């Protein structure tokens, strides 16, 4: 063997050893994570057995109203960051560390800053309760606001809190885990089950403690639902990273909720291929056609419950402008099933006089930073073309955006408010969905929103915060088929509500029988549910995944998004990406990334079941 051949062999061996080392390190790290999660889970269970809820006669805990202004104050506690992070999974909570105030004026200045808040959650070390100034601050606060105290430390110090009437969540241990549990208890992510094992005072006697039931999502580790972290992470990471490497999408967020518990929520890649901004789990994505089910269909279900929309009622019954057309007799049910005879789409032309580079009294519909449509474009172009659309076979399934334009009109006439306002007030805000909604640039900085395509024809700019879909853009960003933006966590909340039979956080949003009706198979010619897409009986298609149950429902979005709910497995799956950046690509589809990630989730669940059976 020549010296050059020997060198080549050595290089190959080194490369091989490097790969093995990297693999071994990765495997070791994941196994270590599994052990850490098991340890964390055990500590979490112990926290649940020891954390006591006191003074909850009013039932304030868990908090129900998420539309009020809520503040979190930390007084001498060590793990305020963990506590506040968990609070903000449920709704927007503003943090006020007492330590940032001047010591002499701490409580007076703090009280002033809290003036506009309705509810204040106070984290406090129990030793601070011995300070009369702390007790005075809390007593004064409870006269004007709803107050919840999370107290950490020696239980004997609670005797100094006898005068306090607000709920107190007490934990003897002050750790990141107890902070986590106490924060989730505030919003009903975990239950209160423990009682005092000894008397502290005449008020706090042995056995004192209120019990609550979980009403919202819990945030935990995969091991709690019988999934090994290493199994789930290895498989999902490999599939999503492959998609990024193949430039099917620059980034993605994956969320898995099982049995009412978020066990996986991970961000991958970057907003763009130049990798200047890493993807975060709090990023806001253009959901595209996930709008159809997360906005329009939700609105229809709400109005159906109110007897304001009937499935067998006709479109003309709700929209007067359709009554003298061949669209008058289309049933609402057939619009939801995409078998109304309407075409898939309608051409919406743009003439030079339809668009202006600047806003004027005539051009008021903002479609990008430097493009405005004339204000009567909907009346003059969109709606006449929708009503004059050529009809086809009513017994044939044709996936049609047009049907959702129609349903938006019906919803708005029956609700008597715009679609975006209706779904925000009826669902998103009371559920604690902090980002979900249309026109996100009105509420969030552009940096939080993941960019989609560079539109080289209509808007001639990179779309970031403006809806990707051209038809929805012509509607001013609010349409029945597209235009909704949200984070993965927001979608998890909305669809956990669906999985719960329309209930979440102690409130019934949709009647259980309505959820069952809309999410069960209704069509004889397609897999469609009412508004929702569903499991395909053709196993070759493996849709939405090979291992999904026939009960599965949800929807995909053109931008590279999807949400699926499997009632049999008590599973909510969210996948968000921007596959259309910087231009439309079908690689995410050809790689079957979304389906394979969902199958990987099922496989990780099944592998643990198999292991459990073998163990027995």
CB-based contacts of 347, cutoff 8 Å, min separation 6: 385
pLDDT digits (tens, 9 = 90+) for 311-339: 999 999 999 999 999 999 999 999 999 99
- CA 195/CA 126 separation, integer angstroms: 17
Helices (H), 157-228: 176-187
**Domain edges within the chain:** 48-216
Average pLDDT over residues 419-438: 98
Q: What is the mean pLDDT of the chain?
A: 93
Nearest to 587 by CA among 177, 305, 247, 303: 247
Closest CA to 109 of 120, 117, 98: 98
Mean pLDDT value across residues 1-26: 45
Strands across the sheet containing 371-374: 355-356, 371-374, 363-368
Per-residue pLDDT at 208: 95
Residue listed under structure tokens 């395509």: 453
| Pairing verdict, β 93-97 and 70-75 | parallel
Q: What is the rounded average pLDDT of the residues 190-210?
A: 93
CA atoms of 615 and 42, how far apart (whole Å): 21
pLDDT band at 6 (very low <50, low <70, confident <90, very high): very low
Convert the pLDDT of each residue in 227-286 to its tens digit: 999 999 999 999 999 999 999 999 999 999 999 999 999 999 999 999 999 999 999 999
Determine the 3-state secondary structure of 306 from DSSP. coil
What is the pTM for the complete model shown? 0.94
299: exposed, middle or buried (Cβ count in 10 Å: 0-12, 13-18, 19+): buried
- pLDDT at residue 2 greater than cutoff 90: no
pLDDT of residue 540: 76
pLDDT confidence band for 28 (50 / 70 / 90): low
Residues 6+ apart with CB under 8 A from 460: 368, 370, 371
pLDDT digits over 502-540, tens only? 999 999 999 999 999 999 999 999 999 999 999 998 877
CATH architecture of residue range(s) 48-216: 3-Layer(aba) Sandwich (3.40)
The whole-angstrom distance between residue 3's C-alpha and the CA centroid of its chain comes to: 60
* CA 187 to the chain's CA centroid: 16
20 band by pLDDT with thresholds 50, 70 and 90: very low
DSSP letters for 224-259: GGT--HHHHHHHHHHHHHHHHHTTS-SEEEEEEEET
Residue 77, sorted as left (phi over 0), alpha (psi -120 to 50) or beta, turns out to be beta
pLDDT tens-digit series, residues 113-163:
999 999 999 999 999 999 999 999 999 999 999 999 999 999 999 989 998
- Tell me the sheet residues that pair with 135: none
Task: Work out whether the CA dihedral 545, 550, 552, 555 comes out positive or negative.
Answer: positive
């Amino acid at each position: 063997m020549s010296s050059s051949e020997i060198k080549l062999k050595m290089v190959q061996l080194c490369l091989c050893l490097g790969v093995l080392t990297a693999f071994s390190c990765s495997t070791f790290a994941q196994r270590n994570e599994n052990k850490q999660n098991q340890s964390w889970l055990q500590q979490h269970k112990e926290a649940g057995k020891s954390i006591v809820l006191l003074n909850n006669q009013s039932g304030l805990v868990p908090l129900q109203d998420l539309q009020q202004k809520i503040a979190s104050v930390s007084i001498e506690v060590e793990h305020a960051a963990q506590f506040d992070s968990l609070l903000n999974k449920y709704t927007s909570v503003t943090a006020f560390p007492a330590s940032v105030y001047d010591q002499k004026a701490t409580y007076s200045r703090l009280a002033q800053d809290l003036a506009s808040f309705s509810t204040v959650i106070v984290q406090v070390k129990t030793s601070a309760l011995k300070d009369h100034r702390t007790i005075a601050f809390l007593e004064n606060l409870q006269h004007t606001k709803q107050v919840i105290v999370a107290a950490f430390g020696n239980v004997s110090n609670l005797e100094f809190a006898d005068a306090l009437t607000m709920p107190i969540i007490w934990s003897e241990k002050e750790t990141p885990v107890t902070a986590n549990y106490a924060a989730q208890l505030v919003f009903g992510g975990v239950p209160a089950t423990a009682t005092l094992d000894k008397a502290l005072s005449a008020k706090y006697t042995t056995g004192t403690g209120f019990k609550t039931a979980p009403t919202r999502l819990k945030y935990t580790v995969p091991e709690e639902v019988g999934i090994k972290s290493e199994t789930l992470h290895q498989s999902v990471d490999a599939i999503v990273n492959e998609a990024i490497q193949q430039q099917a999408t620059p980034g993605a967020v994956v969320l898995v909720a099982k049995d009412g518990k978020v066990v996986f929520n991970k961000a991958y890649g970057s907003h763009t291929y130049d990798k200047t901004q890493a993807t975060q789990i709090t990023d806001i994505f253009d959901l595209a056609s996930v709008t159809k089910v997360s906005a329009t269909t939700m609105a229809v279900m709400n109005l159906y419950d109110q007897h304001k929309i009937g499935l067998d009622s006709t479109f003309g019954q709700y929209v007067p402008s359709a009554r003298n057309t061949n669209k008058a007799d289309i049933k609402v049910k057939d619009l939801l099933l995409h078998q109304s005879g309407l075409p898939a789409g309608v051409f919406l032309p743009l003439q030079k006089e339809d668009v202006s580079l600047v806003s004027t009294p005539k051009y008021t519909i903002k479609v990008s930073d430097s493009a405005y449509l004339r204000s009567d474009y909907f009346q003059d172009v969109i709606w006449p073309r929708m009503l004059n659309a050529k009809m086809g076979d009513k017994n044939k399934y044709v996936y049609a955006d047009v049907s959702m334009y129609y349903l938006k009109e019906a919803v708005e006439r029956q609700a008597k408010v715009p679609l975006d306002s209706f779904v925000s007030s009826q669902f998103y805000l009371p559920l604690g969905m902090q980002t979900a909604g249309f026109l996100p640039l009105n509420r969030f900085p552009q940096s939080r929103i993941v960019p989609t395509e560079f539109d080289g024809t209509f808007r001639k700019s990179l779309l970031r915060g403006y809806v990707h879909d051209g038809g929805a853009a012509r509607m001013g960003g609010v349409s029945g088929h597209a235009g909704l933006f949200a984070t993965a966590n927001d979608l998890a909340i909305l669809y956990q509500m669906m999985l719960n039979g329309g209930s979440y956080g102690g409130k019934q949003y949709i009647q259980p029988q309505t959820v069952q009706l809309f999410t069960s198979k209704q069509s004889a010619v397609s897999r469609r549910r009412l508004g929702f897409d569903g499991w395909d009986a053709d196993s070759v298609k493996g849709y939405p995944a090979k291992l999904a149950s026939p009960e599965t429902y949800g929807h995909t979005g053109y931008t590279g998004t999807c949400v699926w709910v499997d009632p049999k497995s008590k599973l909510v799956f969210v996948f968000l990406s921007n596959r259309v950046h910087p231009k439309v690509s079908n690689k995410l589809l050809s790689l079957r990334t979304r389906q394979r990630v969902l199958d990987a989730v099922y496989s990780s669940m099944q592998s643990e079941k198999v292991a459990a059976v073998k163990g027995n």
